[in-house]
Structure formats: C-alpha cells, structure tokens
Structure 1
C-alpha cells in the first residue's frame, strides 16, 4: 500500500498528537508544519520531542479501500479491552446539541418515518474513543478531516443523556458473538431456534464466532480472512425462501457486522462499512415472517397431550426471534449510521414493531415450562416502543436481556437502574 511522504515521516519519527490537541483531547492530523486544528484556530502547534515510534503502522491519507470509498488515516490502533465499552460522548456533545434525540426512537415512527435521520459530523469516533491512536474515517463527500467544535459546559448535560441511553446497549452488542458460541443464543435469537435445523448460513457464522474467540496477534489475519470469505459466500448466495433460512441469513449478517465493527481492525471496519447497506433489505425480508397471521391460543395452553402446544411454542420461537431481530436491526443501523456521519434515508417506513416482553416465556426450556409461564406469568406485547404498561405493571424478573437493552435506550441507565431496584432486581 502506497504512503504519502508526510505519512512516512510521521512513522519514522514516531510523531504523535501536538500538545494543543492533546490538551483539548481532540484528534490531531499531525501536519508536518502545523496541524489543521492549530492552523484554523491560530494556535502555536508544537509536537512532543520524546515520542516513541509506534510499532503499528496504518494506511496513509492517500490510501483507498476498494468498494468502500473510505479514506482512512491513522497513527496506530489500540488493542481493545473492557474500557472500550465506555464511549466518550463528551468530545462530541457540542455536535449533538443542535439535534433532538427525544426518546431515541429508532423504528421510524417519528423522525425516521418516510424521511432521513440527520447525520452527526465526527460521531464515528465513538466506537474507538482514544484520541491519539484512533483511526479517522473520512466520508466520500469530505476532502478534509472534520474536527468537532470545542466542547462547552452548556452541552455536557445533553451528551451525558445520550450516553446514558446507548452505552449499555453497545456494551451488550459487543459481547453477542461470544454469547452465541457459549450459549447458542443472542438476545434476539432463541436458544432453541435452530434446535432441529441449522441453515448453512448460521453454521458458518457460528464457526466464525467460535474461531474469533481464539483470535490473537499471530492468527488474526487468518481468522479475518476466513470470516471475510464466509461473508462473501453469505452475500452472494441465492435469496432464501424458507422462513427459517431468511431469518438465519439476517441474524448471521448481524453477527458478522458486530465482529467487524467492534474489533478495531481497520480493514474489518472498512469491510463492515462497505456491506452495511445490505442490512436494511435483509431486515425488511423478515416482514413476511412477522406479519403472517397467527391463531390466538387464548390464556391457557393445553398441557396434555402437549402436541398442539408444542406447535404453538415452535411457531412463537420463530416469530418472536424474527420480531426481535427486526427491531434490533434498526437499533444497530440507526446507531451506526450516526457514528459514520451519514444520513439514514428510506422511501417507506417500517411496519409497526412488536415484541413480547417476558423472560419467563423466552427462557422456557420445555413445552411444559412454556405453557405454565403462559398461564401464570404476565407477558407484555410491546408495540412501537411504548413501555407504559410494562413500566407500570412488570417486575424485574419479567425482563430479559433484550428488554433491558431497549428499556435503557428509552429511559436512560439511571432511571432503568432505579426502576429495576424498585421492582426487586438489579440492572
């Protein structure tokens, strides 16, 4: 990969951020004479003289990832750890203050309905919050790195509010590939969904997630090459027609994207960005599963013989997994497009979203336990993110991990913790 003379000089000298950018906790483009920020703000641009050269190199500003139309600049990539789960919203609070998030409705019922989700300049950095070693992805329409304005105290409250609604969910999404391997489930994929039949797409992503758990510096390139081969096979395979295979394709694609987005590898992130437009059509393909009419089983399910109840249970597992997958796709898609400084637009709104809030039904391991939970435990059908009845009448043990993610995104982490505590549980 070709590098510009400036990029070569920076790698040779080990040059890092200038003192003014370090002090302001802003990304520095490391200009040879003076960085862009100092030039614009007429500041004295000085670089530390005792910087140690980084052992990791990154593509130069002139390098281009094929098919992704992304220009990538970087000094190095941090190894990600648990601290990465806390997104640094403070750096971008002044960018957020001109936009109204409301209750963070990502389904399209308000600001997404038939329109666009406004882009947020500079928000991509939230996935990799380190100032000095974070890669900078510049959108195709940009010719220069967009530097967010200086944070002022008047916007810090808004930034904290946004962070309180999204940090928790992003932390849970980052752990999903591991959960799939260890527990054979995700918050939107029932552990028994593929008990009888596991489509090829789900077999491949399961193997990819398992292989990814063993990734280290030595085998990283091999593992990502394997994952990319499986992604290409998924994307180029014929469109499935069976409901289970349609759902498996969408769930597999989400898992691949979660691996590539949160790992921190530059190439993987570029590949994820290139493929993200596929998420929406894969999501809409679930509508046929969700909208197919189901017979109302009534308040009591037959316990003997269990044949009819087992058929109802299997149908519920498929459709509830599809409903949850449909909604989490919009959650992921809306959040990621914000971070990528894009506008999320579409020609038509999604169908009305529903899902069942009941940990007892979701965690039932046998048809007997499902029938008993259906009869004895309350379950709440959540329509279009309306949690009024749930928050008024539910108990803490009624809410599974999926419900926790969406409740926090609606009311914020502090209120969610308070609600769970008053209902006999902990978040």
Structure 2
C-alpha cells in the first residue's frame, strides 16, 4: 500500500458518500481497507472539459477542469436542490450518475407521511383516469407521452410495443359498429402477451430471465391494455382486465428488480455495446459522455415512470372498487420541468443545471408543496401530486406559489 497520496487526488467515492476523511491511498484508502469496502476514486479530469457530478437525490453540478488543464470554459453550476446537502458532498462522477446507483432503486416503505393504506378523493380519481387516456392518445398522435419517452423505442421497436400501439390506434378510431371487434382484438393481444411470458412469471426466476429492456416493453404494453380495458366501461373488458391485474403488479415489481439487479452486478461495468438490441444504445450504462449519460437517464427514467404509472393505475382502480389501496412505497424519479421533453443531451443538461427541482421522492409531496412552485415540475410529477394529495391541495399550491 502506498504511504503518500498522489498530489491533488480527490477523496474516494466511499468516503465522499459517507462524508468521512479519506487518506487517499492506493489501491485502497485506510478506511476502505479497514471496512473491507471497494475503494474507487473519481475518474481523472479528462475531456470533456467539465465533469458532471450527481448527488444521491438527483442534483447535478458541472465542475470546472483544474486551471491549466484546458483553455475552454466550463458550464455554470446549477442552483441547490430541495433537501439537498452542500454540493461539496458529491457522490460520484459522470460515469456513475445518481440514477444508475443501486441505492437509487431502493423503495422506501418506512419513511414519509403516506400511510400503509392510501385513499384518493373522487375528483382526483376521475381526473387521473382522464389523464391516463390523454397520455395514451398523445402517444399514438405524437409518438410520446409522460411515461413513454420519444427516444425510448427509436432504435429498436419491440413486438409487444408494436402490438400495443396498433391496438391503441384501433381503439381510438373505433365506431359503435366496430367497438366489439376492437375490444376482442385487444383481448386476444393481451392473452397472447401473458401466455408468451408465462415461463418468466414466477419469483426471482422471472426477474433474471429477461433483461430490463424486455421487462420494460412487456410492462408498458400490459399497462396500456390495462388502462383501456379497466376504464372503458365495457363490462366484459373490465372483467377480463381484472384477471390480469395481479400480473401487471408482478411485472412492474420484476421490472424494478431487474434494473436494480443489472446495476448491482458487474456486467454493467463492461464497455458499452453499440450494437445493442435494447431501446437505447447504453440502456443502464454510460461511457461518461454527455450523450451516453442522457441515453442512460432516458432508459432509467422510463423504468421509474412506467413502474409509477402501473402502481398508480392499480391503486386508483382498487380505490374505486373498495375505497382504499395499499401504498406501494416511495421511489425517486426525475420530475424537474423540461427534463423529460428535452430533445437533445445539451437541452437536457441545460434544464438540469437551471432547475430548482430535479430528483423527487414520490412520498415527499409536503416538502415539494413548501419549497417549490408548480412550474418547477413537469406534467408527470403534477399528475402524481394531484392523485396523491387531491385537486384542491394542488390548486392551493398553484395559487400560493404564483
């Protein structure tokens, strides 16, 4: 073990995360060696001439290259985030952003004001159901919606997503004379989807049998069918959809678990395969460039939003049926205004730098009410706030923060 620390070496990632003094030795600092931790240091400051530094709660900073290392100007540092600690306590560098950290995939079942059983107001329930239909129509007319990113399936369009899109387009163009035919087509598509995935539907085996991209495609497809059939008003369609409501909940959990498993394994540290069959080149990996990090965020955030949309849809339906629903716990997602709609890596980073809110835990709405404005968060985040806290509370937030 080397006694002297190299000049200008940053603290290791483990000590930085724990906010402990680092001896900065290689190959392992004293604290990591004593605690038998994996000791990793931030990557050296190389091109591009600035480093993207992410905190656990989703805040991002742009750190300038040391003087003399480059004659180009760094990007400015963004404002502080809600609940964020000092920016000097950074977690990791560009190649390890917060949304690719295994800890960011933990579900909080213990903290926050939301009880184990939740209920929604009638107005919020009706509003959310209408909003789901608006989002589905937006997908078929504009190619994206608040839980399906415009770039997500641009490289590879899975069969499940193709079937869901065609079925949804047919549903939106149905007439009274063709309504029964369209619903029968959707019923057949759902049965085929569930039957073909039966082998991967049990326990941990179901998680490892598919990669996160396959989990995401089948879960989004089943969610789309579920929204159509649960809230169409047709008795048979609703009855058939109820048979698979547990399947959607299972697939959503497996989707979430598959992402966490992929990130906790060492496989995502391998070089990025540019011939990937996944929805974006990097999936849950980044090579440290801004473009790669943005693509990884798109995939990560798509998983987070699909999981939330699936669990909220189930909760809303169960509340309509029995008056309450179990709380699925809190997850962190990116709700900052402009992030989801950004059409380029540069635009995405600009919003990340300028936003007052980026990373949000969905059970911490009270904190968001007190510290931010409606305009600081995007449409998806606003919808989660409305369905969770009611239209009246949301409208007070809108008027209080003008």
Decide whether aligned partners of structure 1 residues 408 and 107 sit closer, same or farther in structure 2, where only a CA change above 3 A counts.
farther
CA contact (8 A) 1:164 1:414 kept: no
Instruction: Tell me which residue corresponds to 1:3.
Output: none
> In structure 2, what is the Cα distance between the partners aligned to 1:363 and 1:410?
23
Larger mean Cα displacement after TM superposition, 334-343 or 360-369: 334-343
Deviations, residues 343-398 of structure 1 (Å, cap 9, x unaligned): 867xxx96751111112111101111112212222333222510244323333332
Q: Counterparts of 1:3-152 in structure 2 under 5 Å? A: 113=116
CA contact (8 A) 2:149 2:340 kept: yes
Instruction: Tell me which residue corresponds to 1:215.
Output: 174
Deviations, residues 388-427 of structure 1 (Å, cap 9, x unaligned): 4432333333222211111112332123123223444xxx
Do structure 1's residue 179 and structure 2's residue 138 form an aligned pair?
A: yes
CA contact (8 A) 1:176 1:255 kept: no
Instruction: Tell me which residue corresponds to 2:373.
Output: 395
> In structure 2, what is the Cα distance between the partners aligned to 1:108 and 1:377?
28
SS at match of 2:356: coil
Pick aligned residue for 1:259 from 225, 228, 238 = 228
Do structure 1's residue 327 and structure 2's residue 305 form an aligned pair?
A: no
SS at match of 1:340: helix
Pick aligned residue for 1:203 from 146, 157, 162 = 162
Decide whether aligned partners of structure 1 residues 173 and 193 sit closer, same or farther in structure 2, where only a CA change above 3 A counts.
same
Deviations, residues 167-216 of structure 1 (Å, cap 9, x unaligned): 32122123232122012223222221111111111111011111111111
> In structure 1, what is the Cα distance between the partners aligned to 2:172 and 2:219?
21
Deviations, residues 223-265 of structure 1 (Å, cap 9, x unaligned): 1121111111110114461211211111111110111112111
Q: Counterparts of 1:205-244 in structure 2 under 5 Å? A: 205-238=164-197, 239=200, 241-244=210-213
Decide whether aligned partners of structure 1 residues 419 and 340 sit closer, same or farther in structure 2, where only a CA change above 3 A counts.
closer
The number of residues matched between the two structures is 262
Structure 1 length-normalised TM: 0.55
SS at match of 1:196: coil
Do structure 1's residue 338 and structure 2's residue 316 form an aligned pair?
A: no
Structure 2 length-normalised TM: 0.59
RMSD: 3.0
Do structure 1's residue 381 and structure 2's residue 359 form an aligned pair?
A: yes
Do structure 1's residue 271 and structure 2's residue 271 form an aligned pair?
A: no
